[in-house]
Amino acid sequence: MLKWHATETATVTNYFAVDPASGLTDVVAAERLRSYGANRPSARPGRGAFLRFVAQLVQPLILVLIAAGMVTLFLREWVDSAVIFGVVLVNALVGFIQEGKAEAALAALVRAVAAEATVVRDGARRRLDAIHLVPGDVVVLAAGDKVPADLRLFSGKELRHAEAALTGESLPVAKHVEPLPAETPLADRHNMAYAGTFVVGGQGTGVVVATGDATETGRISALIASAPDLTTPLTRQLDVFARRLLVAILILAVLTFGVGVLRGESALDMFMAAVALAVGAIPEGLPAAMTVTLAIGVARMARRRAIIRKLSAVETLGSTTVICSDKTGTLTENAMTVREIRAGGEHFTLSGDGYAPVGGIEREGLPATVAGALKETLVASVLCNDARLAQVENQWTVIGDPTEAALLVAARKANLDEAILNSLFPRRDELPFDSARQVMATLHEVDGVCVVYVKGAVEKLLGACAGRLDRQGREVPLAGEDVQAAALRMAEAGLRVLALARSELSPTQVLEHEHLGSGLVFLGLIGMIDPPRSSAAAAVRACHAAGIRVKMITGDHPGTAVAIARQLGIADAGTCALTGQELARLDDDGLRQAAATVNVFARVEPEQKLRLVKALQADGEVVAMTGDGVNDAPALKQADIGVAMGLGGTEVAKEAAEMVLTDDNFATIEAAVEEGRGIYDNLVKFIVWTIPTNAGEGLVILAAILAGSTLPITPLQILWINMTTAILLGMMLAFEPAEQGIMQRPPRAPSAPILDRPLLLRILLVSILLLSGAFGLFELALQRGQSLAEARTIAANVFVLVETLYLFNCRSLSRPFWSIGAFANPWVWAGSGAMLLLQLAFTYVPVMNSIFQTAPIGLSDWATIGAFAVFCAAAVELEKRWRLASACRPPALSAGR
Ligand code: ATP
């Protein structure tokens, strides 16, 4: 095997039988794909299934159950011990399966944002899913790309890679193409680009030398994407709660045992009572239910085009207070049409819409003559351009940057064709557009002279221009203020403005950024419309109603930014934009103030976004920030929710983000916030539903022991209730759609406790109702002369029936359950139906009777239990209504005059 880094590039391309200019043919690539396989690391056995299963067992709450099971085994209570272990197994299995599913779903979503690569095949550049790459493919790299396979570089300009993932080197490394000594260590092989690393600057080309498992990354198993993290702030908070609860339960259980034994009860009975208390009070189903709810939420968000990369983002979305959004493509359509050109002191307008090159250029209502400054402006805009237009099924589409495509369309309206211009004036060199510098330049040979064409932001070019072209194409002195005033007029009309200029270089010079700093000749201004997205204004309104502020942070001109912000309701009449330059002059305090009050930030450099996020966070805001470029990554990482663009974003940005929008649309962020709030609600609903059962069961046992009476419910019956109701009833809350009015509430404070006082009181109310119902009806049955088994069956059914109706109460935490659409969540009905069937089996099927020590009960018993359950549900609804009424009461009245 050749050492690629030590080999001349020509030898490498010969080895792979590829012409670096035209790449492989599709036929050869297809053959190689068959023999080398897809370019992805084969799945490695991650954490073994067995270990993952065991991890389910070593949760503190489950360990208590296992201990209880062991003791019952020791005591030869075979049935009890079998059921306890059965529950432990079922619980672990449910957790194992659900967690596996959630992990797989998350990983699939992350993969769904497929990494693409630009490849030269059959002489043309095209975007390809990176898994189709084969050795010998010629790959084109640009800033922001994730390197799709191991490449031997054969050309590069200012190419810099971030290789921390592979080498641990935190600073970007500069790349070159010269061969290196064979013994050069991996981290110093600067003529190679390794799969999984990122291009953070410049551009280059390389030939694929290894794909899939053969890549350096593929060989290091540690780099294979580890399982996604399923913990979130809420699950961590619950973990802490579970640990504390466990200690409390253990103390209570020991006390129960001690008190009972001291009273002279048998140690065995008291041990079983302590076990009953422990298993009853432990909310076993909680962790699995949390994961399921979050996973279902993530799937829902994906359907609304928001891909969650980190589960914790789901919750954070619910407390987002500020959304900082890009303008172009997120708030606007990114569908550009050139409307105006200013060149040679004249003003031109363009007719026609979209990317169809139909229409013309007019001056004062008459067809314009394309000559002098106008022609040179259009020629520059075509040559300094990387986009292409294509007609697919009679539809004109764009390959590349829409801003550049619009320039091609404008030129075609003046009968200037890009293919002809490019062949007449071939490109010799280029400086690609970068959003920090806001310019792009290309070098061409025109009649034996090296001409540089530059396009970019007006402020960036104007200072470097000494003269301008007039209408005849002669160079004359430049009045910068006139150009600036014209640019401002265009921007204030909402147009995106580009300036064009040119200069000359001597044939020996290589194009560098310093050549753009002076001596340019100004050619003209081009103004294009990019209409706001129709859905964006509504989404901005929805955010405002939800107490979320929306800020526009754009690289565009302040005039354009404010005009679009006004159309969208982000800014109102009188609003001014704060520019990147002004921002740079502010100290941290000033910035904090500005960040709090200003809604439009223009000409912002990506690096400044990081300062803005920090300033907002310092004010206690929970910030969602969008980004697409390679320089946006630090801000995306710093934001509470980094949002990357799935269509137009770079791989670097996607990797840094918590959420990826598959349609790049601002409205999708708003939808995700709404879902996030709904999911959090569902988590709280589950907790509010489940805790009274555990508390009620614990209290019943405690009360029985204190009263010195027989246990109204046995440990096995408790386990039965907990397992079946958690799976068939509680989990169904995960399917609850977001409640109406969810976006009329203010964002949840991240520091707010999961359960507020009213909810804690409701939990207490239901727990006490359960205690009195189960205990009361149990005692009543005994007094009536019913058997112990019958009385216990009644108590168990009280729990199940009350919980079933209470499930409907919990569908909304604040509003009557019938007002949120009785059938909006059919799962609740299906689960309740299945639960009742199981309960009939529990009561009437002989095997169940002997396992759980239950006995058939009569219709009048069911009627009493049913009536009690209805009473409880009504009590909860009354409590909700009372709370709603007191919340709506005018302050003067509630102050109790
Ligand atoms: P946003 O940050 O909201 O997406 P934006 O797309 O306008 O805004 P940039 O892409 O950074 O931000 O563009 C900033 C400025 O750079 C534009 O106003 C324009 O003048 C100039 N510009 C944009 N695209 C190009 C390009 N392809 N070539 C040269 N200059 C460009």
Q: Give the helix/strand (H/E) hosting 109.
A: helix 78-112
Q: Give the helix/strand (H/E) hosting 193.
A: strand 192-193
Identify whether residues 677 and 589 lie together within a single domain. Answer: no
| pLDDT at residue number 727 | 85
| pLDDT at residue number 406 | 96
Q: Domain containing 712 — which CATH number?
A: 1.20.1110.10
Q: What is the dihedral of CA 787, 792, 798, 803, to 10 degrees?
A: -160
Q: Give the helix/strand (H/E) hosting 681.
A: helix 666-707
Of 440, 498, 557, 564, the one to substitute when testing ligand 1's pocket (max ligand atoms within 8 A of C-beta) is 498
**pLDDT tens digits, 162-191:** 887 677 777 888 998 899 998 888 888 999
Confirm whether 92 is domain-assigned.
no
Question: Of 671, 690, 722, which residue constitutes the final position of a domain?
Answer: 671
> In this structure, which residue's CA is closest to atom 2 in ligand 1?
554
Distance CA 735, CA 299 (A): 11
Confirm whether 774 is domain-assigned.
yes
732: left (phi over 0), alpha (psi -120 to 50) or beta: alpha
Distance CA 90, CA 472 (A): 85
| pLDDT at residue number 889 | 59
Distance CA 317, CA 540 (A): 16
Identify whether residues 820 and 700 lie together within a single domain. Answer: yes
Asked if 208 and 149 count as a contact pair (C-beta separation under 8 A), the reply is: yes
What's the chain's length in residues?
Answer: 897
Nearest atom in ligand 1 to the alpha carbon of residue 329 is: 4
Report the separation in Å between the CA atom of 241 and the middle of ligand 1, taken as the mean of its atom positions: 50
CA–CA–CA angle 877, 883, 885 (5° rounding): 100
435 lines ligand 1 (CB under 6 A): yes
Asked if 183 and 6 count as a contact pair (C-beta separation under 8 A), the reply is: no
Question: Of 529, 550, 578, which residue constitutes the final position of a domain?
Answer: 529
456 lines ligand 1 (CB under 6 A): yes
C-alpha gyration radius of the chain: 34
**Better-scored residue on pLDDT, 618 or 223:** 618
Copy the structure tokens of residue 648: 């137009």
554 lines ligand 1 (CB under 6 A): yes
Asked if 603 and 584 count as a contact pair (C-beta separation under 8 A), the reply is: no
| pLDDT at residue number 575 | 80
> In this structure, which residue's CA is closest to atom 1 in ligand 1?
554
CA–CA–CA angle 731, 735, 739 (5° rounding): 125
| Whether the predicted pLDDT of 279 surpasses 80 | no
Q: Domain containing 566 — which CATH number?
A: 3.40.50.1000
**pLDDT tens digits, 655-685:** 889 899 989 999 999 999 999 999 999 999 9
Q: Give the helix/strand (H/E) hosting 165.
A: helix 164-167
| pLDDT at residue number 327 | 93
CB atoms within 10 A of CB 720: 25
State which amino acid sits at residue 30: A
Strand partners, 808: none
Q: Between helices 666-707 and 286-303, what is the axis angle to 10°?
A: 160
Q: If DSSP states are collapsed to H, E and C, what string results for 270-293?
A: HHHHHHHHHHHHCCCCHHHHHHHH
Confirm whether 450 is domain-assigned.
yes
Distance CA 301, CA 316 (A): 14
Q: Which residue is associated with the tokens 């929970």?
A: 622
Report the separation in Å between the CA atom of 729 and the middle of ligand 1, taken as the mean of its atom positions: 53
**Better-scored residue on pLDDT, 91 or 463:** 463
| pLDDT at residue number 896 | 34
Distance CA 875, CA 94 (A): 33
Of 324, 328, 626, the one to substitute when testing ligand 1's pocket (max ligand atoms within 8 A of C-beta) is 328
Confirm whether 351 is domain-assigned.
yes
Asked if 445 and 426 count as a contact pair (C-beta separation under 8 A), the reply is: yes
| pLDDT at residue number 790 | 95
**pLDDT tens digits, 125-146:** 888 888 899 999 999 998 888 8
Identify whether residues 360 and 321 lie together within a single domain. Answer: no
Nearest atom in ligand 1 to the alpha carbon of residue 326 is: 3
Residue 891 binned pLDDT confidence (cut-offs 50, 70, 90): very low
Mean model confidence pLDDT for the chain:
88
Average pLDDT of 629-647?
88
Give the residue numbers marked as catalytic: 326
> In this structure, which residue's CA is closest to atom 7 in ligand 1?
556
Q: Domain containing 206 — which CATH number?
A: 2.70.150.10
Question: Of 219, 244, 270, which residue constitutes the final position of a domain?
Answer: 219
Report the separation in Å between the CA atom of 675 and the middle of ligand 1, taken as the mean of its atom positions: 32
State which amino acid sits at residue 102: A
| Whether the predicted pLDDT of 892 surpasses 70 | no
**pLDDT tens digits, 19-53:** 998 999 999 999 999 999 888 766 555 556 777 78
Q: Domain containing 350 — which CATH number?
A: 3.40.1110.10
Pairing relationship of beta strands 322-325 and 623-627 according to DSSP bridges: parallel
Identify whether residues 583 and 696 lie together within a single domain. Answer: no
Average pLDDT of 73-85?
82
| Whether the predicted pLDDT of 587 surpasses 90 | yes
418 lines ligand 1 (CB under 6 A): no
Report the separation in Å between the CA atom of 440 and the middle of ligand 1, taken as the mean of its atom positions: 10
> In this structure, which residue's CA is closest to atom 31 in ligand 1?
456
Confirm whether 542 is domain-assigned.
yes
Copy the structure tokens of residue 12: 């490498």
Average pLDDT of 538-552?
95
State which amino acid sits at residue 698: G
Confirm whether 819 is domain-assigned.
yes
**pLDDT tens digits, 381-419:** 999 998 888 888 888 888 888 999 999 999 999 999 999
Identify whether residues 426 and 548 lie together within a single domain. Answer: no
- Could you give the count of Cα atoms lying within 13 Å of 542 in the half-sphere of its Cβ? 18
Confirm whether 98 is domain-assigned.
no
556 lines ligand 1 (CB under 6 A): yes
190 lines ligand 1 (CB under 6 A): no
Q: How far is CA 438 from the centre of its chain?
A: 28
Look at the alpha carbons of 619, 620, 624, 628 in this order and tell me if their dihedral is positive or negative.
positive
Identify whether residues 313 and 389 lie together within a single domain. Answer: no
* Percent of the chain whose predicted confidence (pLDDT) is above 90: 51
State which amino acid sits at residue 670: E
Residue 256 binned pLDDT confidence (cut-offs 50, 70, 90): confident
What is the residue range of 320's domain? 308-332+534-671
Q: Between helices 286-303 and 78-112, what is the axis angle to 10°?
A: 20
Report the separation in Å between the CA atom of 497 and the middle of ligand 1, taken as the mean of its atom positions: 9
Residue 341 binned pLDDT confidence (cut-offs 50, 70, 90): very high
Report the separation in Å between the CA atom of 110 and the middle of ligand 1, taken as the mean of its atom positions: 28
Average pLDDT of 747-767?
89
Copy the structure tokens of residue 349: 């307008």
Report the separation in Å between the CA atom of 455 and the middle of ligand 1, taken as the mean of its atom positions: 10
Look at the alpha carbons of 24, 29, 35, 37 in this order and tell me if their dihedral is positive or negative.
positive
Distance CA 166, CA 197 (A): 7
Identify whether residues 358 and 494 lie together within a single domain. Answer: yes
175 lines ligand 1 (CB under 6 A): no
Copy the structure tokens of residue 8: 């001349």
Identify whether residues 714 and 645 lie together within a single domain. Answer: no
Q: Measuring CA to CA, how many Å separate 179 from each of 116, 154, 159?
A: 28, 10, 16
Identify whether residues 376 and 457 lie together within a single domain. Answer: yes
Nearest atom in ligand 1 to the alpha carbon of residue 603 is: 14
601 lines ligand 1 (CB under 6 A): no
Residue 53: partners with Cβ closer than 8 Å, 6 or more residues away:
92, 93, 96
> In this structure, which residue's CA is closest to atom 24 in ligand 1?
403
Predicted TM-score of the model (pTM): 0.82
| pLDDT at residue number 890 | 53
| pLDDT at residue number 347 | 95
- Could you give the count of Cα atoms lying within 13 Å of 173 in the half-sphere of its Cβ? 20
Identify whether residues 524 and 562 lie together within a single domain. Answer: no
Distance CA 777, CA 794 (A): 7
Identify whether residues 302 and 373 lie together within a single domain. Answer: no
Pairing relationship of beta strands 322-325 and 549-553 according to DSSP bridges: parallel
455 lines ligand 1 (CB under 6 A): yes
Average pLDDT of 473-494?
93
Report the separation in Å between the CA atom of 556 and the middle of ligand 1, taken as the mean of its atom positions: 6
Asked if 282 and 61 count as a contact pair (C-beta separation under 8 A), the reply is: yes
Q: Which residue is associated with the tokens 């363009």?
A: 350
Report the separation in Å between the CA atom of 603 and the middle of ligand 1, taken as the mean of its atom positions: 9
Confirm whether 176 is domain-assigned.
yes
404 lines ligand 1 (CB under 6 A): yes
| Whether the predicted pLDDT of 240 surpasses 90 | no
Q: How many domains does the chain have?
A: 4
Residue 308 binned pLDDT confidence (cut-offs 50, 70, 90): confident
326 lines ligand 1 (CB under 6 A): yes
Identify whether residues 680 and 667 lie together within a single domain. Answer: no
457 lines ligand 1 (CB under 6 A): yes
Copy the structure tokens of residue 311: 């589960």
440 lines ligand 1 (CB under 6 A): yes
Query: Minimum mean pLDDT among 4-13, 311-320, 341-350, 613-622: which range?
Result: 311-320
CA–CA–CA angle 880, 882, 887 (5° rounding): 95
> In this structure, which residue's CA is closest to atom 29 in ligand 1?
456
| Whether the predicted pLDDT of 366 surpasses 50 | yes
